[in-house]
Amino acid sequence: MKFQLVIQFDTSNFDDFDWLIALEDKLELKLGSAHEVDGHDFGSGEMNIFINTNNPQSALATCKKAIDELTILKFIAAYRDFTSEEFTVIYPKNKERVFSVI
């Protein structure tokens, strides 16, 4: 896989670790073998799910459907080439902040 996609949620008003695990399991089922869920982290006001993929846009489309079924929480999605440290935000499209994983 060439890219890492990160789905990031703000946890300043939300701290349900069990929900994160349930979402991660659901994404793993929905993404199938085309993309690989590579774990998560939780802390510093955010929770992240990491996905290895060759097509970040396709993985995001699948993830977005699954997230919409479970939650009304907003999220940010960004990806990077594994050879780079710089992320490109792909959702929401008008996101104008620097993306980072703490």
Cα–chain center distance at 60: 8
Q: Is residue 99 part of a domain?
A: no
Q: Which of left, alpha, beta for 45 (phi over 0: left; psi -120 to 50: alpha)?
A: left
Domain count, the chain: 1
Q: Is residue 82 part of a domain?
A: yes
Q: Is residue 23 part of a domain?
A: yes
Q: Is residue 65 part of a domain?
A: yes
Angle at 78 between CA 52 and CA 3, to 5 degrees: 30
For 8-39, the pLDDT digits (tens) are: 988 876 667 787 888 899 999 999 999 999 99
For 65-76, the pLDDT digits (tens) are: 888 887 667 899
* SS3 state of residue 14: coil
Q: Is residue 100 part of a domain?
A: no
* Residue range of the domain that includes 29: 3-47+54-91
Q: Which of 6, 3, 4, 1 is nearest to 99 (CA)?
A: 6
Q: Is residue 96 part of a domain?
A: no
pTM (predicted TM-score) = 0.89
